[in-house]
């Protein structure tokens, strides 16, 4: 199954509870030494260095949950409420909004998460979307 967002992630090693694990495609800037996510075609958003100074840097898909809440109304055609969205630290100092698998009862602030691929319907196609699930085997 094709990835819904191949610019942001790639298949990782092993399986989570709800699907195969994914790694995230960050950028590492040779000019300033900082990591940013996602890597883009435009260069380093931290220091402004040109794209040729930025290398692909894989994040292992492990994250720490900072806050989360359930969406009750259809704020976007891409979501089917109720669904749970959170903020997670995907690398030191890099906080991203993430979509969480399942019900909010599964989650607690500070919990370890991991990125997994979950099938979603997009038109008449099935694609593998990036979701985060509890990583109970993680620290």
Partner 1 sequence: MTVLKDLRPVYVVGVGMHRYQFASDTNYIHMGLTALRAALADAGLEFPQIESAFVGCTGIGMAAGRIMFNHIGSTGLAVTQCENASASGSSAFQLACLEVAAGRREVSLALGVDKYGDQVRAINKEGVGRLSDTAAIPLVRYALLAEYLKKEKGLQPEDLAMVAAKNHTNGSKNPFAQFQKARSVQDILAAKPVMGDFTSPMCTPRGEGAAAAIVCSAAALKDLGLTGEPIRVLSSTLQSERPQVGREMGSVAVARAVAEKTYEEAGITAQDLDIVELHDAFAIEELLYVETFGLCPTGEGHFWIRSGAAEINGEVAVNPSGGLLAQGHPLGPTGIGQVHEIVHQLRGTAGPRQHRGATTGMAHMIGLGSISIAHVLRKET
Closer residue to partner 1 in complex, CB, 18/46: 46
The yes or no reply on residue 29 touching Zn ion (CB under 5 A) is yes
Residues that bind partner 1 (CB under 8 A): 5, 7-8, 24, 38, 40-42, 45-46, 66-73, 75-76, 78-79, 85-87, 90, 95-99, 109, 130
For residue 73, the tally of other CB atoms under 10 A from its CB is: 7
What would the x/- binding string for Zn ion be over residues 59 to 98, using CB under 5 A?
----------------------------------------
CB 13 within 8 A of CB 113: no
Least distance from C-beta 7 to partner 1, angstroms? 5
d(CA 16, CA 86): 19
For Zn ion, the binding residue among 32, 94, 112, 127 (CB under 5 A) is: 32
Q: Which does 49 bind (CB under 5 to 8 A by kind): Zn ion, partner 1, none?
A: Zn ion
Q: Which residues make up the interface to Zn ion (CB under 5 A)?
A: 29, 31-32, 44, 46-47, 49
């Amino acid at each position: 199954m094709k990835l819904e967002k191949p610019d942001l992630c790639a298949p990782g090693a092993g399986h989570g509870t709800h699907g195969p694990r994914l790694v995230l495609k960050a950028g590492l800037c040779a000019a300033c030494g900082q990591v940013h996510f996602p890597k883009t075609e435009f260069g380093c958003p931290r220091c402004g260095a040109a794209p040729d100074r930025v290398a692909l840097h894989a994040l292992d898909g492990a994250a720490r949950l900072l806050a989360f809440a359930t969406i009750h109304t259809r704020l976007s055609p891409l979501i089917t409420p109720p669904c749970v969205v959170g903020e997670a630290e995907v690398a030191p100092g890099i906080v991203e909004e993430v979509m969480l698998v399942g019900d909010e009862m599964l989650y607690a602030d500070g919990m370890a998460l991991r990125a997994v691929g979950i099938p979603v319907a997009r038109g008449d196609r099935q694609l593998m979307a990036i979701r985060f699930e509890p990583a109970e085997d993680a620290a």
